[in-house]
Chain A
Amino acid sequence: MSVQQPTFNPRRLRKTVLDMAYAGSTVHIGCAFSIIDLLAVLYRDHLRYPGNNPIAVDRDYFVLSKGHGVMAQYACMRELGWLPEEAFSGYFADGSELKGLSDSRVRGLEVTSGSLGHGFSVGVGMAFGAQLRGTNQKTYVLVGDGEINEGPIWEGALCAAHHRMKNLMLIVDENGLQAMGETKDVLELGSIQAKFESFGFVGASVDGHNEHDIDLAIRKLWATPSDRPKVLIARTIKGKGVPFMENNNIWHYTRLNAETYAKAVAAVTRGTDL
Chain B
Amino acid sequence: MRDAFSKALVDLAKADPNVLLLTGDHGYALFDEFRRVCPKQYINAGIAEQNMVGMAAGLARTGFRPIVYGLSAFIPIRVLEQIKLDVAHDNLPVIFIGDGAGFVYSHLGTSHQSTEDIACSRAIADLQVYSPADEFEMTFCMHAAYRVRAPVYLRVGKSDRAPVHAQALNCSLGQLLSLKLGERGGVTFIATGSLVRCALDIAGTTFPGASVWSAPFIKPIDEAQISAICRDSQTVVTLEEHSIYGGLGSLVAEVTSATAPVRLLRIGVKDRFSMHCGSYDYLLKEHGLDRMSIEKKLTSFLSPNSSALCE
Contacts and interface: CB of A to CB of B under 8 A. Distances in A.
A is bound by B: yes
B50 A152 contact: yes
Nearest to B17: A132
Given A104-B90, A112-B90, A126 B50 contact: no
A105 B85 CA distance: 12
Interface string A108-125: 001111010111111111
**Interface extent on A, as a size class?**
20 to 34
Contact of A121 (B46, B63, B64, B82): B82
Given A132-B64, A159-B46, A124 B55 contact: yes
Question: Which of A110, A122, A159, A162 has most B Cβ within 10 Å?
Answer: A122
Interface in B241-281: none
A68 B90 CA distance: 19
B81 interface: yes
Contacts of B54: 118-122, 124-125, 152, 156
A142 to B, nearest CB: 15
Contacts of B64: 129, 132
Contacts, number: 92
Given A118-B82, A152-B51, A155-B50, A123 B58 contact: yes
Contact of B51 (A126, A129, A132, A156): A156
A122 B45 CA distance: 13
A129 B62 contact: yes
A94 B248 CA distance: 37
B138 interface: no
Nearest to A162: B46
Question: Which of B56, B58, B85, B86 has most A Cβ within 10 Å?
Answer: B58
B59 A125 contact: yes
A159 B89 contact: no
Nearest to B41: A132
A41 interface: no
Contact of A156 (B55, B59, B63): B55
Nearest to A135: B62
A112 B46 contact: no
Interface in B77-100: 81-82, 85-86, 89-90
B48 interface: yes
A36 interface: no
Contacts of B46: 155, 158-159, 162
B53 interface: yes
**Interface extent on B, as a size class?**
20 to 34
Contacts of A76: none
A31 interface: no
B73 interface: no
B79 to A, nearest CB: 9
B61 interface: yes
B57 interface: yes
Contacts of B56: 125
A115 B82 CA distance: 10
B61 A110 contact: yes
A122 B75 CA distance: 17
Contacts of A115: 81, 85
Contacts of B50: 117, 121, 151-152, 155
A130 interface: yes
A121 B62 contact: no
A83 B89 CA distance: 22
Contacts of B55: 121-122, 124-125, 128, 156, 159
Contacts of B85: 112-113, 115, 118
A118 B86 contact: yes
A117 B81 CA distance: 11
A128 B61 CA distance: 11
A122 B86 contact: yes
Nearest to A139: B58
Interface in A148-204: 151-152, 155-156, 158-159, 162
B58 A129 contact: yes
A32 interface: no
A159 B90 CA distance: 23
Nearest 5 CB-CB pairings of A with B: A125-B58, A121-B54, A129-B62, A155-B51, A155-B48
13 contacts: A104-B89, A115-B81, A117-B50, A121-B57, A121-B82, A125-B56, A125-B61, A128-B59, A129-B61, A132-B59, A132-B64, A159-B46, A159-B48
